[in-house]
Amino acid sequence: MLALLLVASCGLESGSAVPLRVGPGSIRPIPALDGVRITVGSKDFTEQNILGYLIEFALTAAGAEVRDLTDIVGSNSLRDAQLHGQIDIAYDYTGTGWINYLGRENPVPGSDEQFTAVRDADLTAHGMVWAAMAPMNNTYAMVANPGTAADKSITSLSDYANLVNTDPDAAATCVGTEFNVRQDGFPGMARKYDIDTGKVRKQIVQDSLVFQATADGNQCRFGSVAATDGRIPALNLKLLTDDRAFFPKYNAALVMRKSFADAHPQVIAVMEPISRLLTNESITELNRKVDIEGREPATVARTWLIDQGFVTPG
């Protein structure tokens, strides 16, 4: 109840207008969506804001009356807002749905398998529909300082684990506070890769500080990240291969209440071609434009949709 009161107090009952204009492109006006009021939500970080705006502009071009409720603080607040009808549609992550919302401890191997599992279970348990899964997988990952990766021939997590166990000082590691304690983070990774945790030279820092600290190579040589963060290519960090397939799959997919999906099946049809183009490479580049170039998420999302021909400037 307290969470719902906080959601309501933040103005989530009505939302605001879509921030930029768009017109039809390959997405054409759909009579069944003409004037239909649809509220779009997202969480409060770069990638989620971009994904939210992609939905907003696409459905606006299709003729819906879209309201903007992006930038909600935290997964649980977004979820509560969806369950209680304040938000109609959002992109969320399959791993988050499985572990956080459904309380399952063990992720399902494989992106398609994880999507199917969360789709079926969430529909049964909460009447929530998952659809139009994208190839992008915003899972946890480890990165290496480029010089260290080259000097020590580190390309995979198995290579990293071997370095920790044989030359701990060369494997100094920065980890985010949440990654440090989550079972799908460092503790589980250490078990999976037989890392001697007693030898790890580990520093716990804010997630935002991991990137530059790893790139500098002074404080740490390795760091924990989200795999689609735009700062990885911008700082030339080397993403390590998860060669034992430890990290859960966090593919983005549309989430909505069954009543909304049944009433407006056209929404999924509009969004499916967009989801198909959301690869790790494409979303990482969009994230980079925001986090490195300082551009606004709404502008980045709109420009990409225009470049792909889905919408026009309006």
Instruction: Dump pLDDT digits (tens) for 72-102.
Output: 998 899 999 999 999 999 999 999 999 889 9
What residues in the chain have per-residue pLDDT under 70?
A: 1-14
CA separation for the pair 142, 237 (Å, rounded): 10
One of 3.40.50.2300, 3.30.750.210, 3.30.300.20, 3.40.190.120 is the CATH number of 140-239, namely: 3.40.190.120
Please, what sign has the CA dihedral across residues 277, 305, 43, 266? negative
276, 115 in Cβ contact below 8 A?
no
pLDDT at 6: 44
Query: Mean pLDDT, the chain, as a whole number?
Result: 93
How is residue 261 written in tokens?
């999906």
Nearest to 40 by CA among 112, 116, 76, 91: 91
**pTM flag (> 0.85):** yes
pLDDT at 15: 80
Specify the DSSP element, H or E, that contains 202.
Answer: strand 202-205
| Burial readout 277-286 (b: 16 or more C-beta within 10 A, e: otherwise) | bbebebbbeb
Q: Where in the chain is the domain with CATH 3.40.190.120?
A: 140-239
CA separation for the pair 112, 125 (Å, rounded): 20
CA separation for the pair 144, 215 (Å, rounded): 8
pLDDT at 106: 85
CATH homologous superfamily for 17-137+250-312?
Periplasmic binding protein-like II (3.40.190.10)
pLDDT tens sequence across 4-61? 444 444 445 568 999 999 999 999 999 999 999 999 999 999 999 999 999 999 999 9
Nearest to 89 by CA among 227, 265, 249, 228: 265
Torsion of the alpha carbons at 253, 259, 265 and 267, rounded to the nearest 10: -50
Q: Where in the chain is the domain with CATH 3.40.190.10?
A: 17-137+250-312
**Mapping DSSP to helix (H, G, I), strand (E, B) and coil, where does residue 3 land?**
helix
